[in-house]
Amino acid sequence: MLDSTPMAKMYLICAIVTSFVLRFIHRIYFSPLARIPRAHPTSLISATWVWWRRRNGRESRSILAAHQRHGPVVLLAPNEVSFATLSALRTIYVGGFARTSWFDEFKNYETPNLVTTYDGRQHAARRRVVAGIFSKSHLLRAPDVRDMMQELLFRRLLPALEGEVDVYELALAAGAEFVNAHQLGTAHSMDIMRKERTAARQEYLHLGNVKLRHLPGWQPAQHALEQQLLDLCRPVEAFLRSGKEGRGTFPVVYAQLRNAFAPNDSQVGSLPEKILDIATDLLDNVEAGRVGLGIALAYTMYELSRHPATQAALQQELIALGEELSIDSGTGFSPTTLRIISDLPLLDAVVMETLRRYAPAPGPQRRAVPAGGAEIDGYWLPGGVVVHAAPYVLHRTASVFNDPESWLPERWLNGKGDERRWFWPFGSGGKMCLGNHFAELVMKVVLAGVYANFQTAVSKAQDPALMRPQDDMMGYPEGEACLLVFQKLRACDE
């Protein structure tokens, strides 16, 4: 008995080692993924290489380098393949492969929302509820959207621009507030852009940052954000029930979700989970607005400040809108203002180029190969393998984007047309960004308002090295600040 214990241990160790060796041999010689070029020699047998790069904030750069070395299809780990072709985008994203559980962290109130509804049919049904009110045609013609944008731009954002401003802080706040104003109406949209609300803005942004980056205390921060949104929803619900005229613009998204999830008035009050069904989507959208729109707006103003000739050309283009954009005249938007802003060619090019060069969500958009397997770009992949493409990689495709690290809006004005097919900051297919038209329109309205009234320059206090985008889930500037100096245009013309 005494002797058998070491023997048993030895047998056990031998069995474990043999099973590992057999697994490695099987993977190397028989895995269907063995034909795929490997990002690293160990990629077929271990996920360590890609894990290490992710852990050290070098994910997207490392995947791009792997594609540059090995071509458009690269094996990152035994169960993970990265693609950089238009055909793969069609198969994976238009083909409707499901998201992986990696997206679970986008849940709020421990309640699934659009992002985390993994079943294809349920997802499509849920998306149909809100697709119309985020469509470009609705946004360009709805009076509530126009009034909302006008109020936020002229009464809240533009008056906050004076002297040296941390544009990153203000852009994050603007992103969240524009989304919330569309969702809950202008009377219930946080109000964190105005100077008088600096303390509330900084407190909110601190919570958002702690939650997003999983810093110590992220769970209490998440709960505080969840509670804050519910507190904003309460008066909206009371207003909808009262049937009276409300203050500000209509709570477009809240009302739409409420009609779908709780058509009977009394359900909302008596069944808390119905409110959470609504709030989980609302909060996810606000977060997307804060970080996605915030990062994109801050980088656009930063680049325009570094490119005075492009800034001056944009100001010339905005003259066409005359008094409608003037902070002093107060004429406000006409029914066609949003459409005109949306169609301005240089403004469009500036927005496109920022979303290309500084894609706010630069990393892989993960999907799972369906049970039964699938062929992608000539490779057969078994069900469950994680496949993806990434904006960071696609936006640096050398044959499409010359000098990809430079910010060159001209490429969208003089391009051959291929650029738009490779433009992928919002993903594609049935699960692509719901807020893409909203985000582009808000960017254009804010930039039009800012550059029709101000000239901007990079502050001497801003270290350019700290504007490098993080290689993370979100590409925010390393220094988490962007100091620009604002000078009123009329004042400097006089």
Annotated binding site for heme: 433
Q: What is the DSSP letter of 291?
A: I
Q: Please give the C-alpha separations between residue 17 and each of 9, 20, 23, 283, 484, in angstroms, as whole numbers.
A: 12, 5, 10, 48, 60
Q: Which residue is nearest to ligand HEM (CB)?
A: 435
Q: How many CB atoms lie within 10 A of CB 421?
A: 11
When asked if residue 288 is in the footprint of ligand HEM (CB under 6 A), the reply is yes
Tokens coding 455? 């000239």
Of 173-192, binders to ligand HEM (CB under 6 A) are 179
Question: Shortest distance, CB of residue 157 to ligand HEM, whole angstroms?
Answer: 16
Q: Between 116 and 150, name the residue whose CB sits nearer to ligand HEM.
A: 116
Q: What span, in angstroms and rounded, lies between the C-alpha atoms of 461 and 322?
A: 34
- Segment interacting with ligand HEM, rule: CB under 6 A, options 72-80, 269-277, 287-295, 378-386: 287-295
When asked if residue 474 is in the footprint of ligand HEM (CB under 6 A), the reply is no
Which of 74, 88, 173, 434 is close enough to bind ligand HEM by CB under 6 A? 434
The dihedral through the CA atoms of 432, 435, 441, 443 has a sign that is negative
Q: Which helix (H) or strand (E) holds 35?
A: none
Question: Looking at this protein, which amino acid is placed at residue 288?
Answer: A
Tokens coding 354? 């920022």
When asked if residue 425 is in the footprint of ligand HEM (CB under 6 A), the reply is yes
Which of 246, 435, 469, 475 is close enough to bind ligand HEM by CB under 6 A? 435
SS3 31: coil
Residues annotated as binding site?
A: 433
When asked if residue 426 is in the footprint of ligand HEM (CB under 6 A), the reply is yes
Alpha helices in 213-293 (DSSP H): 218-242, 252-261, 265-270, 272-288
Which of 289, 363, 469, 475 is close enough to bind ligand HEM by CB under 6 A? 289
Ramachandran class of 214: left when φ > 0, alpha when ψ lies in -120 to 50, beta otherwise: left
Estimate the crossing angle of helix 294-306 against helix 167-184, to 10 degrees.
140
Question: Shortest distance, CB of residue 288 to ligand HEM, whole angstroms?
Answer: 3
Residues forming a β-bridge with 486: 163, 456
When asked if residue 285 is in the footprint of ligand HEM (CB under 6 A), the reply is yes
- Listed residue (458, 114, 456, 111) closest to 315, CA to CA: 456
Which of 96, 373, 415, 427 is close enough to bind ligand HEM by CB under 6 A? 427
Of 245-284, binders to ligand HEM (CB under 6 A) are 284
Residues 290-319, mask of contacts with ligand HEM (x by CB under 6 A): --xx--x-----------------------
Phi, psi of 363 (to 5 degrees): -85, -175
**Beta-carbon contacts of residue 428 (< 8 Å; ≥ 6 apart):** 89, 93, 94
Q: Between 38 and 175, name the residue whose CB sits nearer to ligand HEM.
A: 175
- Segment interacting with ligand HEM, rule: CB under 6 A, options 192-200, 285-293, 302-310, 445-453: 285-293
Q: What span, in angstroms and rounded, lies between the C-alpha atoms of 16 and 31?
A: 20
Of 123-182, binders to ligand HEM (CB under 6 A) are 127, 179
- Segment interacting with ligand HEM, rule: CB under 6 A, options 40-48, 337-345, 401-409, 419-427: 419-427
Q: Between 127 and 339, name the residue whose CB sits nearer to ligand HEM.
A: 127
The dihedral through the CA atoms of 111, 115, 119, 122 has a sign that is positive
Q: Between 233 and 327, name the residue whose CB sits nearer to ligand HEM.
A: 233
- Segment interacting with ligand HEM, rule: CB under 6 A, options 3-11, 71-79, 411-419, 434-442: 434-442
Write out the residues near ligand HEM by the rule CB under 6 A: 99, 114-115, 127, 179, 284-285, 288-289, 292-293, 296, 360-361, 365, 425-427, 431-435, 438-439
